[in-house]
């Protein structure tokens, strides 16, 4: 999905303005001219200039390309749904892994994602369980990453 450069430029311009204004609130180091705000201010100026160039270029192409030119996936409901589910599963992991524990969360997420990507239904639970346990063994037992146990805490090892 290609968004017209003018729109992206406008978003970036708004960002650079926000950054520039916010940077003015940083306290100065007493007796120093160059404190915490110098660098972000410079970045916001540079980003603002770049966005102006993008806007100018995008306006010139507007007649040909329009605001947004959609890639083939953007017109396919199936593909868009797959993307939405993938993102949702990562969010699910962020929210659920601590209360639920790594093993159930990863298992559920993998089962759903395998389903979306068309892995054979019979294979799905076996693969999901296998991969979850291999990753758990690698990171928890070998690398000593404290993956959360959640509801499985009584059976933790």
Partner 1 sequence: MDAILLATQMVFQPDVLVTIVLAALFGLFVGSVPGLTATMATALLVPITFFMAPVAAIGAIVTCSAMAIFAGDIPGTLLRIPGTPASAAYTDEAYAMTRKGQGELALGANLLFSALGGLFGTAVLIVAAPSLAEVALQFSSFEYFWLACLGLTCATVVGTGSTIKGLVSLMIGLLVATIGLNNPAGVPRFTFGSVDLMGGIDFIAAMIGLFAVSEIFRYVLGMSPDTSNVQAPAGNLFTGWGRLFKQYWRQSLRGNVLGTAIGALPGAGADIAAWVSYAVSKRFSKTPEKFGTGHVEGIIESTSSNNAALGGAWVPALVFGIPGDSITAIVIGVLYLKGMNPGPTIFINNPQDIYAVFLIFILANIFMVPAGWAAIKSARLLMKVPRNVLMPTILLFCVVGSFAINNSVFGVSVMLFFGLLGFIMEENGFPIAPTILGIVLGPLLEENFVTSMIKSDGSFLGFFERPLAAGLGIITIAVWIVPLGLYLWRKARS
Least distance between partner 1 and beta carbon 86 (Å): 5
Question: Least separation, in Å, of the C-beta of 63 and partner 1?
Answer: 19
Find where tokens 């999905």 sit: 1
**Site size with partner 1, rule: CB under 8 A:** 63
Name the minimum Å distance from CB 88 to partner 1: 11
Residue indicated by tokens 């404190």: 35
Per-position x/- string for 129-148, each x denoting binding to partner 1 as judged by CB under 8 A, each - no binding: --xx--x---x---xxxxx-
**DSSP state, 124?**
H
For partner 1, which residue of 10, 65, 82, 152 counts as binding (CB under 8 A)? 82
Counting contacts by CB under 8 A, is residue 127 touching partner 1? yes
Three-state SS across 78-115?
HHHHHHHHHHHHHHHHHHHHHHHCHHHHHHHHHHHHHH
Q: Is the alpha carbon torsion for 48, 53, 56, 62 positive or negative?
A: negative
Q: Which of 24, 63, 77, 118 binds partner 1 (CB under 8 A)?
A: 118
Run of H or E including 33: none
Return the structure tokens found at 29: 């180091």
CA distance linking residue 6 with residue 130, whole number of Å: 48
Angstrom distances, CA of residue 24 to CA of 18, 110, 122, 128, 140: 10, 46, 59, 51, 45
Among 10, 17, 119, 133, binds partner 1 (CB under 8 A): 119
Question: Contact positions toward partner 1, by CB under 8 A?
Answer: 1-3, 5, 8, 12, 19, 22-23, 26-27, 29, 32-36, 38-40, 43, 46-47, 50-51, 53-54, 57, 71, 73, 76, 79-80, 82-83, 86-87, 90-91, 93-94, 97-98, 102, 106, 109-110, 113-114, 116-119, 127, 131-132, 135, 139, 143-147
């Amino acid at each position: 999905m290609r968004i017209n450069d003018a729109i992206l430029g406008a978003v970036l311009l708004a960002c650079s303005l926000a950054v520039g204004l916010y940077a003015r609130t940083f306290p100065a180091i007493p007796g120093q001219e160059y404190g915490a705000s110098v660098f972000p201010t410079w970045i916001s100026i540079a980003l603002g200039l770049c966005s102006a160039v993008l806007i100018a270029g995008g306006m010139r192409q507007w007649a040909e390309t329009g605001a947004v030119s959609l890639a083939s996936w953007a017109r396919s409901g199936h593909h868009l749904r797959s993307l939405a589910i993938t993102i949702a599963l990562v969010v699910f992991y962020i929210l659920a892994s601590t209360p639920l524990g790594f093993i159930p969360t990863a298992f559920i997420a993998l089962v759903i994602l395998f389903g979306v990507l068309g892995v054979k239904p019979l294979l799905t639970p076996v693969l999901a369980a296998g991969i979850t346990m291999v990753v758990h063994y690698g990171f928890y037992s070998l690398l000593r990453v404290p993956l959360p146990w959640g509801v499985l805490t009584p059976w933790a090892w």
